[in-house]
Amino acid sequence: MGFKMGIVGLPNVGKSTLFNALTRTAAAQAANFPFCTIEPNVGEVAVPDARLDQLAAIAQSKQIIPTRMTFVDIAGLVKGASKGEGLGNQFLANIREVDAIAHVLRCFEDGDVTHVEGRVDPVADAETIETELMLADIESIEKRLQNIVRKVRGGDKEAVQQERLMRMALAVLEDGRPARVVDVDAEDLKAWRMLQLLTTKPVLYVCNVGEGDAAEGNDLSAKVAQMAAAQGNAHVIISAQIEEEISQLEPEEAQMFLEEMGLSEAGLDRLIRAGYELLHLETYFTVGPKEARAWTIASGTTAPKAAGVIHGDFEKGFIRAETIAFDDFVTLGGEGPAKEAGKMRAEGKGYVVKDGDVLHFLFNT
């Protein structure tokens, strides 16, 4: 299981430049005019994880297969998108298909790059997009409430539940807050997700700064950080231009370039880590002489569900999982020594997989 993150923002904030860097491709045309990205570009990138290389070296794995993350570069939004302005309808439809939103905000000054609003104000830009998403949710809810009136009157339990949840969402939206702030009970979560409201998507603010501000950020990114903290959202500071340059270099050259810029790691690594935290994702590993492989699961996933990420039959016929903690596998030098030291455990169906677990599944065919 990976996840799909939509890269959104106003035109000319650096979305496509960031996408090109992340996917190491020029498939998304980065140009200085609105709507240069007409269709959403989809790219998959390997999730960098130094632990996987360590495991592969110990097991002398012939192949290393990282887990993957999908990015969707979505056409730039303008004010009025909720009413179909610009490419609004397409923009909103594309957002419904992603798991989370990476909201790219322009935090750099450049007279050669036009701002669609004629000013550089990342907080105002964020508010523009959030407002359009909230307006779209309000319109969607009002239409749906009209459509289920008859079912609610007839006592349809599902319709009654939907109406209650939609009215909860409508109350906060009309108060100028996104639907993600609604406190939903566990028994309502499935029905809540089925509503597919745009403002329930987790948001990660990506502060796109100039090259000179990539290490520490600037006054503009500081304002975004303050806004994100107040909302309970996360933010990362990235120079899309630097990331694009790095993506064209060999690994050793890229590392030297990062050091020269005063950066300890590529922005991609920070973005992915922030994305993992945003969606409460974790990684487990399968390791052997043939391959060392990383798998993505949601935090709190049980062993049978984790096995199902590899193949549905593994979950159906699950017997038990043999697990070694990453630190034990590395410190002791592999599966054999860990087993001899009593660090390999047999776990049943109720075991909750931990980030970094090295797993082997036994199952009935």
Taking the C-alpha atoms of residue 101 and residue 4, their distance in angstroms, rounded to an integer, is 9
15 is an annotated ligand-binding site residue: yes
263, exposed or middle or buried, with CB in 10 Å at 0-12, 13-18, 19+?
A: middle
Instruction: Note the pLDDT tens digit of each residue in 312-330.
Output: 999 999 999 999 999 999 9
Tell whether residue 14 is among the known ligand binding residues: yes
- Lowest mean per-residue pLDDT among 108-117, 175-184, 202-211, 249-258: 108-117
334 is in an annotated binding site: no
Nearest-angstrom CA–CA distance, 277 and 275 = 5
Assess contact for 295 and 286: CB atoms under 8 A.
Answer: yes
Asked if 338 and 328 touch (Cβ cutoff 8 Å), the reply is yes
Does 37 count as an annotated binding residue? no
User: What pLDDT digit, counting tens, does each position of 88-97 carry?
Assistant: 456 677 888 8
Structure confidence at residue 165 (pLDDT)? 96
Give the pLDDT band of residue 79 (cuts 50, 70, 90).
low
Does the annotation place 82 within a ligand binding site? no
**Average pLDDT score over residue span 16-33:** 60
Q: Count how many residues are written for the chain.
A: 365
Specify the CATH architecture of the domain 300-363: Roll (3.10)
How is the chain split into domains, by residue range?
A: 4-278, 300-363
How many other CB atoms sit within 10 Å of the CB of residue 364? 8
Q: Is 302 annotated as a binding residue?
A: no
Lowest mean pLDDT among 30-39, 60-69, 223-232: 30-39
- Average pLDDT of the residues of the chain: 86
Q: What is the CATH number of domain 4-278?
A: 3.40.50.300
Assess contact for 237 and 217: CB atoms under 8 A.
Answer: yes
Check residue 32 and give its pLDDT: 40
Spatial separation of the C-alpha atoms in residues 303 and 300, rounded to whole Å: 10
- pLDDT at position 80 is 57
Q: What percentage of the chain carries pLDDT values higher than 90?
A: 54
pLDDT at 278: 85
Residue 2's pLDDT band (boundaries 50, 70, 90)?
Answer: low
